[in-house]
Amino acid sequence: MSDSTFTLRNIFSLSSNSDWNQALEEWPEKEQDIPDEFKNVDLSAAMPNLSPKVDELFDIEVPNLFVTAWNKTGEIQGIIDKSRDAPEEVIYVELADHSIESEHHPYVEMTIRNSPPVKIIELTVKLTMTIKGFQLKIQGGEIKEIGTGTCEAEGTIEYKGLVIMKKNLEPVRLPGSIRLSEKHPMKAGTRDI
């Protein structure tokens, strides 16, 4: 999608080798929502495979979050619509300083063979990004490029109301510009509000 992929993993400073195993290995024993027919199934065998799956949940690209939020504003949407009428014209839009708040519900489903999920591990990711000095390049009905300024982010990762990771408000290092080659919806496997 972009010249330099920037994801929630970067925001929360998660390495690609994050060790979720310790935090995850107790969850099935603590949970009462496993269907009765699977109560005696040893889910601990799935734990080594669970950590990489949870890690993948944070591959949500931050530019998608920006574009999704900006597409919901009437003024930006009006400019995008207008640009469809003159697809060769390039429009630059300076954005006022603002904050983007988002909440996401990435999840992993644990299944045994072709059964319905025996467990769904759903996380709640709450994120606030304060944006300053951003510029949009709009052409042909799409945001084509984001000129970045400064961004500060704070957020939490929760599991069933328990905060398992917190990011305090601090600057985020973004590339100078992010070129968007085509529209991309949020990654499959997320439920966004």
Closest CA to 123 of 186, 38, 192: 192
Domain boundaries defined on the chain: 8-179
Nearest Cα residue to 124 out of 30, 170, 193? 193
Q: Give pTM, 2 decimals.
A: 0.70
**Which pLDDT value is given to residue 89?**
95
- Residues, the chain, total? 193
Paired tokens of 26: 């107790």
Of residues 77, 69, 177, 55, the one with CA closest to residue 127: 69
Q: In angstroms, rounded to a whole number, what is the distance separating the alpha carbons of residues 4 and 125?
A: 22
Task: State the CB neighbour count (10 A cutoff) for residue 54.
Answer: 20
pLDDT tens per residue, range 84-126: 999 999 999 999 999 999 999 988 887 777 778 777 888 899 9
Give the DSSP H or E segment for 59.
none
Name the 3-class secondary structure at 39: coil
Each residue's pLDDT tens digit, 68-78 = 888 888 889 89
Cα–chain center distance at 45: 28
Sites in the chain below the pLDDT cut of 50: 1-3, 19, 28-30, 37-38, 183-193
